[in-house]
Structure 1
Amino acid sequence: MQMIQQIQSGNIQSFEKVYQQYHSKLYYYVLRHCHSTYLSEETVQLTFIKMWENRKDLSLQYDIAIQLFRIARSTMIDLLRKERTANRYLLHAVDDISDIQEAGPTDYKEDLKQVEALIEDLSPVRKKVFKLSRFDELSHKEIAEQLSISPKTVENHIGRAIRHLKDKMVFIFWFL
């Protein structure tokens, strides 16, 4: 309870103690549930940011660990929902690109070139992983075996490629 009161009053040393004590525990808790190192790191970081920003709302009735794990759980769920939405958006965009290729209207050819250029701008490994996943329709395990990397690394590359493309594609398709 004293630790919570100190954090509520803005004591950075108490916050750092809590961070040191729970950072790894939170990371492995999230990793067990989402199986993604990237999402685990992001969730833990956001959990501590939220705790600090909302420190005045911390309850004195519950242990700091309980409150941290609740924040982490809700943050993880939010991130998973955002990722699912981003994946859905990108899959629709890739389907739209395929439709555009088949239809072949002149005004879409430039958009298609821009999207292809965005894919080509990815790092070599990320581009390869993305193409194997989305165009060759290989599973994460198949890609991992082919490139001699772990399935988690494949997942990480695909997630980051999707986020990059999604961010850039918003501008391309804004006027469609």
Structure 2
Amino acid sequence: MSLIDGLKTSNETALRRAFELFQEPLYRYIFDKTRSPELAKEVVQLTFIKLWKYRHSLKAEISLSSVLFRIARTIMIDELRKQKALRKAELHQSGPVQWELVTESVSYNDTLRKLELLIRQMPPVRQRVFRLSRLNCYSYSEIASMLSISTKTVENHIHLALKFIKPFFPVLIFMSGTLLFNIVLL
């Protein structure tokens, strides 16, 4: 009996087996998109709850993997929208006390725009390497594999990109996945 058949007949063992098979890939997929372990765990749980709730409508011709990843993606988008709405509501409710956060956000967005203009001035391969490394959190070896270049070439592109950007931002710190910056006027 296939997992889909087991799920359609309300077989809890089939649900447990599906969870064992797909929990980790779903978690990695959501974590790669959001960089939030809490959100990834929540989405995985909600995905299997929704799968169980709608198990009777599963179709044998559609793979369980496809169904689960589609459910997870939809839930992730919904959760991100909820978080955005909550942040927006909190900002409106807090009024003048939050002015500092607003100005920080404006400054952050302005800096990101300036950084994007600088990135666009780099050669195309360097732009791609820089974005993959610093904004998408790929390792040097993953980037080398994706672009069919050596790891040393990736390192060189990152070094040159940072060297190019540094004069425009005297103190600019890039952490994996998150752009942290502190502009110091000298």
Give the corresponding residue for 1:77.
Answer: 77
List alignment gaps of at least 5 residues for structure 1. Answer: 100-132, 140-149, 153-176
Number of aligned residue pairs: 109
SS at structure 2 position matched to 1:62: coil
Give the corresponding residue for 1:58.
Answer: 58
Give the corresponding residue for 1:6.
Answer: 6
* CA deviation string 1:78-121 (max 9, x = no partner): 0001111011000111126669xxxxxxxxxxxxxxxxxxxxxx
Alpha-carbon separation, structure 1, partners of 2:67 and 2:16? 16
One-letter identity of the residue aligned with 2:85:
T
Taking structure 2 as the reference length, what is the TM-score of the superposition? 0.52
SS at structure 1 position matched to 2:15: helix
Q: Is the 8 A contact 2:91 2:98 kept in 1?
A: no
> Cα offset for 1:35?
1.4
Is 1:89 aligned to 2:78, yes or no?
no
Alpha-carbon separation, structure 1, partners of 2:59 and 2:26? 19
Give the corresponding residue for 1:126.
Answer: none
Give the corresponding residue for 1:128.
Answer: none
Give the corresponding residue for 1:165.
Answer: none
1 or 2, which has the higher strand percentage? 2
Tell me: higher relative CO, structure 1 or 2? Use CA pairs within 8 A at least 6 residues apart: 1
Change in 2 beyond 3 A, CA 1:9/1:96: farther
Question: Larger C-alpha radius of gyration, 1 or 2?
Answer: 2
- The CA RMSD measured in Å over matched residues stands at 2.8
* CA deviation string 1:51-71 (max 9, x = no partner): 001101112111101100000
> Cα offset for 1:151?
9.7
Alpha-carbon separation, structure 2, partners of 1:63 and 1:22? 12
Change in 2 beyond 3 A, CA 1:78/1:98: closer
List alignment gaps of at least 5 residues for structure 2. Answer: 109-174, 178-186
Change in 2 beyond 3 A, CA 1:62/1:98: closer
SS at structure 2 position matched to 1:10: coil
SS at structure 2 position matched to 1:28: helix
Change in 2 beyond 3 A, CA 1:4/1:137: same
Alpha-carbon separation, structure 1, partners of 2:22 and 2:45? 12
One-letter identity of the residue aligned with 2:53:
E
> Cα offset for 1:11?
0.3
Alpha-carbon separation, structure 2, partners of 1:85 and 1:71? 21
Give the corresponding residue for 1:18.
Answer: 18
Taking structure 1 as the reference length, what is the TM-score of the superposition? 0.55
> Cα offset for 1:36?
1.1
Give the corresponding residue for 1:125.
Answer: none
Alpha-carbon separation, structure 2, partners of 1:135 and 1:76? 26
